[in-house]
Chains A and B, each alone.
Chain A
Amino acid sequence: MLGGYMGKGLRVNLTSCTTSTFDIPEDWARRFLGGRGFAAKILYDELDPSTEPLSPENKLVVATGPLSGLFLPGSGKLTFACKSPATGGYADSNVGGHLGPEIKYAGYDVIIVEGKADTPAVLVIEDDRVSIRDGSRYWGLGALATEKALKDDLGEAFQCAVIGPAGENLVKFACISHDFGRQAGRCGVGAVMGSKNLKAIAVSGTRAIPLAKPKEALEKGKQMYLSCFSKPGFYDWTPYGTAGVTDWVNEVGSFPTKNFHTGYFEHHSQINGQALKERILVTDKGCFGCPIPCGKYSRTRWQGREVMVEGPEYETIAMLGGNCCLESIEDVAYANYVCDELGLDTISAGNVVAFAMECYEKGLLTKEEVNREIRFGDLDSVVFLLSEIAARSGIGALLAEGVKVAAERIGKGSERFAIHVKGLEVSGYEPRYAPAMLLAYMTADIGAHHNRAWAITYDVAVGRDSLEGKAEKVIELQHIRPLFDALGLCRLQWVEIGFELHHYGEIFPLVTGIDYGWEDLIRASERIWNLTRLFNIKHITGFGRKYDSAPARFLEEPMPSGPVEGKLTGAKSAEQLLDRYYQLRGWSPDGVPTKQKLAELDLLEESAAC
């Protein structure tokens, strides 16, 4: 038996109220590693292309990685995956906290949730005791309140994944929440969970994770921690966490501001990491195994009401702060709290709310349609819209579909400033004068998300006018960054404090017994990337190059203000980048993996079903 893996998957059918287990094939471990690799394999094999994302036929895959739950830095990540309500293609979203390790301690690498419960349900897992219980008493509760109630009812030992009202009401950007403030935020994974009438998953485990070479794995784990402790970033980065990048993104003119109208927010010093630390921070809150906790647990107040919230993280600061023009960290934190309780992804939510505000400003949405005035910079407007969206009431019914669908229905040119790729709202980096970042958003498998290739630092480092080497860099990052999601790890030790990548190649064989080094892991990551591409081709009619596009605002409107005023990479350069990207990937000019590439990646068996 391989180390690092529990060797078992749990299959839960909510329609028939049955559960079963299956053995994890060793071939999966060797070819797809775990986490998003297992999720992609399962969804690719098991979902028919006709599957509607919010139907009982869709499956919610919860997948751990072979390195999660172990003594090594950042070993707390977990993947939720499904067919995407946002794009109709492949979706995965990862969450930190403590749930991934707990699922492994309970004895599983993967949980596959199928079907739909007749009435609200909660899945409770205690080692091999699995039950589908009545969840009616939690239905309608906020995500934070639900998690508290579950812990009160089941015990503190349980780690929980829950949805809020937004997930229940099938909002296309509803998240899955865990540990009072961490979320699998993207792609509407919470809507898929809601479509199954599944309010929560609660897990408690008491088993050991097997290890191929325990003594060596322990020594390597110790070396990895000590290496983290020795990095200057260990001391400089941790006090502010992800919020610490706010100033830098502003300085380079890429901070999403006023629905991505521009890339510079003049009030950035009021919503940055320093403001967070000095004004609202209560405690640092780390994920499992994390030496550099980005989680900042905070206290804020609005209209006399005091609330606790984890965050805001950088993405939330960008999307609810700059993009909705909220001018204080207290306001951003309150909007963050509202999203967390309602179960909304703060990235898409900030994007959708800003889109609605721009529509209102331009007269494309009226006071009668919205049922009140709304304006940028007004927390009351933000809270109102978030609440309407989560309840799908009033204008919220339209906005709950995300900016792509909302713009299609509103029309009148609003498509130009509906900021999405493939149907997923763009996250916190304004890429119109950052060619690598633009390409990263255009080609990310789940739609516009920075976590596949945070390439903007490369643009700034090597020059933003040049296209040279940009496609190469994006591909390199698209293999490295999602590899962490396959292994069950957090990438921030590497990204933020310069922890060296070779460590992961060194500990993998000690844990698993699979004789892989770093290059083998990267090759597996490339295989997974091509498999999610095949998923999109299989599931989206006519999928190809035209889906790897960017919003008109990014391609046609020079930056109107800030440090890079007047600058634009432009549509022609974007097409050149795409040509180069496909060529390097071994894909056709329409973005389809060639047979030769699929053979090289040992994916011919899978491609036969495409």
Chain B
Amino acid sequence: MRLSKRDELCSGCKSCILVCSMENFLKADPTLAALRIKAHFPVPGKYEVVLCDQCGECEKACPTGAIYADGEAYRVKPEECIACMACIEACPKGAIWFNQALGAPVKCVLCGECVRYCPRQAIVDETGEVKWGGEQAC
């Protein structure tokens, strides 16, 4: 799976954020989501999806090995995180967030639910492996 975004389609509804936190933590808590929507209003009037592209810079920056490659995704082992924030600073996309309650960062693990449930198809899987939910619904 390879996620990419189409900001011009995003309408800022945050369905992606909620399905992300629910799928991965079974909690309705946007702070647990591994993506964000930036709203640029009142001007120029557009949304921006902040999304991890699995570049691996966080893994390189992590001094304890708490971030590791697992297939196509980089994952976090919370118990090994020392909250040094090196991964946060290293991320070129700003797509990894430290969560106080977890005591560790939250990052995308390529579950693909944002692709399935974004009503606007603003997040897509370039490989075509995960499809928009509307395709199966139709």
A215 and B23 alpha carbons, distance in the complex (Å):
9
**Are the C-beta atoms of A105 and B30 separated by less than 8 Å?**
yes
Instruction: Return chain B residues, CB-CB under 8 Å to A156.
Output: 38-39
Instruction: Return chain B residues, CB-CB under 8 Å to A290.
Output: 11, 13, 15, 119
A218, A228, A295: the one within 8 Å of B22 (CB)? A218
**Are the C-beta atoms of A180 and B41 separated by less than 8 Å?**
yes
Q: Given A290-B13, A291-B119, are A70 and B28 neighbors across the interface (CB < 8 Å)?
A: yes
**Are the C-beta atoms of A291 and B19 separated by less than 8 Å?**
no
Report the stretch among B54-62, B64-72, B87-95, B130-138 that lies at the interface. B130-138
Closest to B38 in A: A156
Cβ proximity bits A260-290 to B, threshold 8 Å, 1 near / 0 not: 0000000000000000000000111111111
**Are the C-beta atoms of B133 and A286 separated by less than 8 Å?**
no
A337 and B126 alpha carbons, distance in the complex (Å):
40
A-B contact count (CB 8 A): 114
Instruction: Return chain A residues, CB-CB under 8 Å to B12.
Output: 285-286
Kindly state whether residue A144 has any CB partner on chain B within 8 Å. Answer: yes
Kindly state whether residue B128 has any CB partner on chain A within 8 Å. Answer: no
Q: Is the interface of B mostly helix, strand, loop or mixed?
A: mixed
Please tell me the number of chain B residues within 8 Å of chain A, measured between CB atoms: 38
Kindly state whether residue A230 has any CB partner on chain B within 8 Å. Answer: yes
A218 and B24 alpha carbons, distance in the complex (Å):
11
A71, A230, A282, A288: the one within 8 Å of B134 (CB)? A230
**Are the C-beta atoms of B138 and A208 separated by less than 8 Å?**
no
Q: Given A211-B28, A230-B134, are A283 and B11 neighbors across the interface (CB < 8 Å)?
A: yes
A:213-229 near B, CB below 8 Å: 214-215, 217-218, 221-222, 225-229
**Are the C-beta atoms of A214 and B13 separated by less than 8 Å?**
no
Instruction: Return chain A residues, CB-CB under 8 Å to B74.
Output: none
Kindly state whether residue B8 has any CB partner on chain A within 8 Å. Answer: yes
A86 and B55 alpha carbons, distance in the complex (Å):
58
Kindly state whether residue A98 has any CB partner on chain B within 8 Å. Answer: yes
Please tell me the number of chain A residues within 8 Å of chain B, measured between CB atoms: 46
A560 and B10 alpha carbons, distance in the complex (Å):
45
Kindly state whether residue B14 has any CB partner on chain A within 8 Å. Answer: yes
**Are the C-beta atoms of B42 and A70 separated by less than 8 Å?**
no
A407 and B116 alpha carbons, distance in the complex (Å):
55
Kindly state whether residue A308 has any CB partner on chain B within 8 Å. Answer: yes
**Are the C-beta atoms of B137 and A227 separated by less than 8 Å?**
yes
Instruction: Return chain A residues, CB-CB under 8 Å to B13.
Output: 76, 286-291, 293
**Are the C-beta atoms of A295 and B26 separated by less than 8 Å?**
no
B:7-50 near A, CB below 8 Å: 8, 11-15, 18-19, 21-23, 26-32, 38-39, 41-47
A180 and B45 alpha carbons, distance in the complex (Å):
10
A551 and B29 alpha carbons, distance in the complex (Å):
48
Closest to B132 in A: A229
**Are the C-beta atoms of B11 and A229 separated by less than 8 Å?**
no
Instruction: Return chain A residues, CB-CB under 8 Å to B29.
Output: 105, 206-209
- List chain A positions with a Cβ less than 8 A from chain B: 69-71, 76, 98, 105, 144, 147-148, 156, 179-180, 206-209, 211, 214-215, 217-218, 221-222, 225-230, 234, 282-293, 295, 297, 299, 308
List the 10 closest A-B pairs by CB distance, nearest first: A208-B29, A229-B134, A291-B119, A286-B11, A71-B18, A286-B13, A230-B137, A214-B26, A209-B28, A293-B11
A selection of 10 A-B contacts at a CB cut-off of 8 Å is A206-B29, A208-B29, A218-B23, A226-B136, A226-B137, A229-B119, A229-B132, A229-B137, A229-B138, A289-B15
- List chain B positions with a Cβ less than 8 A from chain A: 8, 11-15, 18-19, 21-23, 26-32, 38-39, 41-47, 100, 116-117, 119-120, 132-134, 136-138
